[in-house]
Amino acid sequence: MKIFISVDIEGVAGVVVPKQGQPGNLEYEHSRRLMTEEANAAIAGAFAGGATEVLVNDSHGPMINLIPDLLDDRAELIRGQIKPGSMFAGLDDSYAGAMCVGYHAAAADFGVLAHTYSTRDFSAVRLNGLPASEAMVFGAYAGAMAVPVILLSGDDVTARSCGALFPGAEVVTVKTALGQRAAKALSPQMARARIRDAAERAVQSATRIKPYTIAEPCALELDLTSAVLADLCETIPVARRHSALTVGFEAPSIGDAIRWMAVCCMLGSHLV
Amino acid sequence: MKIYMSADIEGVAGVVIPAHQRPGNAEYEDARRLMTAETNAAIEGAFVGGATEVLVNDSHGPMTNILPDLLDPRAELIRGNIKHGGMFAGLDDSYAGVICLGYHARAADYGVLAHTTSDFAFARTWLNGEPASEAMFYGAYAGAMGVPVIMLSGDDVTEAHCGSLFLGSHFARVKSALGQRAARALSPRAAQALIRKAAEAAVRDAHHIKPYRVAEPCDVAFKFTSVFFADICATIPVAERRSPLTVGFKTETALDAIRWMRVCSSLGGHVRLSTN
């Protein structure tokens, strides 16, 4: 049984400030280690639960955060970007389930370091009219391949808002948000133990968990953080300007919706 | 009679090096004054030739190069970026003709500072399979509205290329390329006199000059300066990856081809931030 694990950083126990997700400082060096250990906990649990193959996709920022020689050597690792599928790169319908480790709440919601794909570029993201988190967007991407999300870890807001999308999935709350940049967290050891146990149970029950799907074609709406970025996104021939700050796309598939979101995020770099 | 002017900087007499077209240095301050003066020469010629209204669109880089208080006050000026229509923003079918000032040769050709839209992004660009210059892209956009390019100014390589596209148009050759960053140029005063005369003649001739049209729908293709850059542009859902360095798009219109070019060029910002 093949298991896919996507690992982000903001939802890791102990991570609370932007620096901890930004390469080039000591805080980040600590958090990438914590991130790698939470990934290891999920890998260990997955194998204990019956996985025969585990693929880990580094899913944060430059996507070279996980430290390869500290990662459980039974797993294969996808590093770097640009890559097709982004946070769920490498996933296909041969996987029995996907795990989202270190995930966080959606843009414009409460929750530690809540954002959707890019704090710099998006103040909110909607998919088919609903506020969209990364877990929702990529969960739907997996669902379109009939792969269920079987485990989600992060803070309490993530557990509440995203957990509801994936009935039957294991939801691990490793910290409780006290604000955008503050949380009450489990010790790293306790967080890993819970992730390990949940991953084991998740793999054991994977075949009984339903994929999360959304209606396709889908409507993607991006609230940009500035009108000039909205101007720039509107130069895309198929983009629709909905308001001074909002641009929308009709996408035939959730995969295309994700790509439009990523393109608009990369266009944001033009204005830096 | 309404006349539209698009002003770029690389084809201005006296401009020869990248610093001339990059804000933030003394060389650029000289070049933008020369650019403004060549624009004034064209405005003067257009009014003498019978124009009743002139709209100038600053079309280079950040599009805030022309010095407004040195520009002929009879003209209106479009400044800034991002704007619908890019280098031909503000153009519609009420204009009798377009004048392209300070234009330059296309990417991968000879000619002073030759490039198409972005030398950081594009090693080559094609429109409907033809190697494409900015004049070709935007001339096709104007042509789709029935508006002809009636005059251009720039170097000899630009003249050879554009003369064959815009039949009957006038050309003010203000310099001869000796290389990518060297030219033998007319004095600014002589260049401006030549531009004034060409603009006057072009406006008088405007009704006899046919719009330049390309087949629509179009095929636009870009050869990027790096495979990583092409990777980024290939993430656009409707993009077609045609080779490690090449990405193409099918578009309904010439304008949409231009918009893809601008989108891909703007994605260069992400390449710059990803250098590590």
Task: State whether A152 and A242 are in the same domain.
Answer: no
Residue B243: inside a domain: no
Q: Span A87-94, mean pLDDT? A: 98
Domain holding B182: CATH number? Answer: 3.40.50.10780
Residue B237: inside a domain: no
Q: Tell me, rounded to whole angstroms, the distance of Cα B56 from its chain centroid.
A: 13
Count up the domains in chain A and report the number: 2
Note down the domain range covering A26: 2-122+133-208
Q: What is the pLDDT of residues A47-82, one digit of tens each?
A: 999 999 999 999 999 999 999 999 999 999 999 999
Three-class secondary structure assignment of A84-152: CCHHHCCCCCCCCEEEEECCCCCCCCCCCCCCCCCCCCEEEEEECCEECCHHHHHHHHHHCCCCCEEEE
Asked whether the beta carbons of A100 and A69 are under 8 A apart, the reply is: no
Note down the domain range covering B89: 2-113+134-208
Task: State whether A87 and A21 are in the same domain.
Answer: yes
What ipTM does this complex have? 0.89
Contact B266 A237 (CB under 8 A): no
pTM of the entire predicted model: 0.92
Residue B275 pLDDT > 80: no
Task: State whether A155 and A263 are in the same domain.
Answer: no
> pLDDT band at residue B274, thresholds of 50, 70 and 90?
confident
Q: What is the pLDDT of residues A180-215, one digit of tens each?
A: 999 999 999 999 999 999 999 999 999 999 999 999
Contact B262 A235 (CB under 8 A): yes
- Binding residues of A for Zn(2+), as ranges, are 8, 10, 60, 104, 134
Task: State whether A100 and A159 are in the same domain.
Answer: yes
Task: State whether A77 and A97 are in the same domain.
Answer: yes
Bridge partners, B98 (sequence order): B4, B149
Q: Which of B250, B263, B275 to mutate to test the interface with A (most CBs of A within 10 A)?
A: B263
Rounded CA separation B202/B209 (Å): 9
Task: State whether A251 and A204 are in the same domain.
Answer: no
Contact A272 B273 (CB under 8 A): yes
**What average pLDDT does the structure give for chain B?**
97
Domain holding A80: CATH number? Answer: 3.40.50.10780
Contact B237 A259 (CB under 8 A): yes
- By C-alpha distance, the chain A residue nearest B229 is A82
Q: Which residues of B touch A256 (CB under 8 A)?
A: 237
> pLDDT band at residue B276, thresholds of 50, 70 and 90?
low
Task: State whether A239 and A167 are in the same domain.
Answer: no
Closest by alpha carbon to B97, among B200, B192, B197, B218? B200
Q: What percent of chain A has pLDDT over 70?
A: 100
Rounded CA separation A143/A141 (Å): 5
B66-88 burial, b at 16+ Cβ within 10 Å, e below that, comes to beeeebbeebebbeebbbebbbb
Residue B34: inside a domain: yes
Q: What is the pLDDT of residues B168-214, one digit of tens each?
A: 999 999 999 999 999 999 999 999 999 999 999 999 999 999 999 99
Residue A127: inside a domain: no
Q: Flag whether residue A202 sits within 8 Å of chain B, measured between CB atoms.
A: no
Contact A82 B232 (CB under 8 A): yes
Q: Which of A155, A179, A208 is the last residue of a domain?
A: A208
| Amino acid present at A195 | I
Which segment of A102-106, B41-45, B233-237, B272-276 scores lowest on mean pLDDT? B272-276
CA distances for A201 relative to A49, A147, A209, angstroms: 6, 17, 12
Q: What is the pLDDT of residues A159-176, one digit of tens each?
A: 999 999 999 999 999 999
Task: State whether A55 and A108 are in the same domain.
Answer: yes
B64 contacts: CB under 8 Å, gap ≥ 6: B58, B79, B80, B81
For chain A positions 227-256, those within 8 Å of chain B (CB to CB) are: 228, 231-232, 235-238, 251, 256
Task: State whether A195 and A108 are in the same domain.
Answer: yes
Count up the domains in chain B and report the number: 1
| Amino acid present at B28 | Y
Helical ranges in chain A per DSSP H: 26-49, 134-143, 156-163, 188-204, 227-234, 254-268
Residue A255: inside a domain: yes
Residue A243: inside a domain: yes
Would the annotation count B216 as a binding residue?
no
Residue B195: inside a domain: yes
Task: State whether A190 and A83 are in the same domain.
Answer: yes
Residue B227: inside a domain: no
Q: Span A132-151, mean pLDDT? A: 98
Q: Which of A208, A226, A245 is the last residue of a domain?
A: A208
Task: State whether A53 and A31 are in the same domain.
Answer: yes
